Amino acid sequence: MRWPGAALALLLMGLAGCSTAAPAAQSPAAEPTTTSAATAPATEAPPPTQPAPAPSTPAVPAPVVVLDPGHNGGNAAHPEVVTAPVPDGAGGTKPCNTTGTATDAGFAEHAFNWDVALRVRDRLTAAGVAVVLTRQDDSGVGPCVDARGRLAGEVGASAFVGIHGDGAGAGGRGFHVITSSLDPAGAGVAAGSDALALSIRDAMTAVVPPGDYVGRNGLDSRPDLAGLNINAVPAVYVECGNMRNATDAALMSDPAGRAAVADRLATGVLAYLGR
Ligand code: ZN
């Protein structure tokens, strides 16, 4: 940290025209008086504190899970952001994000996703799991689906769980868990995604029936979801129910219903982690 002081000293010398000779090496003791203001102490300031080196490995690392509450509360007001194309993990592009669906009564999916994600976070944290959220509130814009999909790999997570509510026809009800059908991260990660999906499926059936309008036995596989295609770790999206179905909407709009859904989601994740 001596260069700024030395550089300023040389600059001051140049401004004063005090020397045209090659600058001699400045004595360290001269720097404080040359560069300090009148308030500087008479004695030389201690050197900047160096941060302690981080331990190379934690003693017992907690497993990390990324929770991805789908969409965001500010998306609808910023189409210029959410419609921008981003990589879809399948060689093409898709919009950065979407606004999500809502119940017929107007309860927004982004709010459902956010509330459930916080409840799942609390359960997992209490069980000793470190949780990273892809967004920090329910009033922002984005992040884009590709950034959400990259996050789990970036933070060394063991699993990625996207939380959504579906917006299908009113006659269909139930939840389903989606994996990528492309397996872009290899067979090992794909097997992990399948195992994660099964754990969550088995837990979720206690509060919501498997979807009767999509997939099979509460499971589905798709090639078009960037957040799954781009993921480097076992990853699923959970469509916790159909917000356009009256029965599912009643459950999802009720805080007690969301607590029950979150409890089952957390149970499924913990079972996958073996905790
Ligand atoms: Zn959604």
Q: Given this model, what pLDDT does residue 214 score? A: 98
Please give the distance, rounded to the nearest whole angstrom, from the Cα atom of residue 258 to the centre of ligand 1. 15
Give yes or no for residue 145 having a pLDDT over 50. Answer: yes
Residue extents of the structural domains in the chain: 64-273
Q: Please report, rounded to a whole number, the percentage of residues in the chain having pLDDT higher than 90.
A: 77
Please give the distance, rounded to the nearest whole angstrom, from the Cα atom of residue 27 to the centre of ligand 1. 65
Find the mean pLDDT for residues 61-86. Answer: 97
Q: Which residues surround ligand 1, an ion (CB under 5 A)?
A: 70, 100, 164
Give yes or no for residue 12 having a pLDDT over 80. Answer: no
Please give the distance, rounded to the nearest whole angstrom, from the Cα atom of residue 179 to the centre of ligand 1. 14
Q: Given this model, what pLDDT does residue 60 score? A: 73
Give yes or no for residue 45 having a pLDDT over 50. Answer: yes
Q: What's the pLDDT band for 36 if we cut at 50, 70, 90? A: very low
CA-based R_g, the chain, Å:
27
Please give the distance, rounded to the nearest whole angstrom, from the Cα atom of residue 86 to the centre of ligand 1. 17
DSSP 218: T
Please give the distance, rounded to the nearest whole angstrom, from the Cα atom of residue 6 to the centre of ligand 1. 57
User: Sign of the C-alpha dihedral, residues 208, 210, 212, 213?
Assistant: positive
Q: Given this model, what pLDDT does residue 62 score? A: 93
Please give the distance, rounded to the nearest whole angstrom, from the Cα atom of residue 249 to the centre of ligand 1. 14
Which helix (DSSP H) or strand (DSSP E) does residue 266 occupy? helix 255-273
64-273 fold = Aminopeptidase (3.40.630)
Please give the distance, rounded to the nearest whole angstrom, from the Cα atom of residue 237 to the centre of ligand 1. 9
Find the mean pLDDT for residues 126-154. Answer: 98
Give yes or no for residue 27 having a pLDDT over 50. Answer: no
Residue holding tokens 């794909």?
190
Find the mean pLDDT for residues 96-122. Answer: 98
Q: What's the pLDDT band for 5 if we cut at 50, 70, 90? A: very low
What's the first-to-final CA gap in the chain, in angstroms?
A: 48
Find the mean pLDDT for residues 198-221. Answer: 98
Q: Given this model, what pLDDT does residue 46 score? A: 55
Which amino acid, residue 80? E
Give yes or no for residue 265 having a pLDDT over 90. Answer: yes
Which helix (DSSP H) or strand (DSSP E) does residue 189 occupy? helix 187-204
Find the mean pLDDT for residues 65-93. Answer: 97
Give yes or no for residue 25 having a pLDDT over 50. Answer: no
Residue of 31, 44, 154, 239 with catalytic role: 239
Give yes or no for residue 35 having a pLDDT over 60. Answer: no
Active site residue 239: yes
- Taking the C-alpha atoms of residue 207 and residue 258, their distance in angstroms, rounded to an integer, is 10
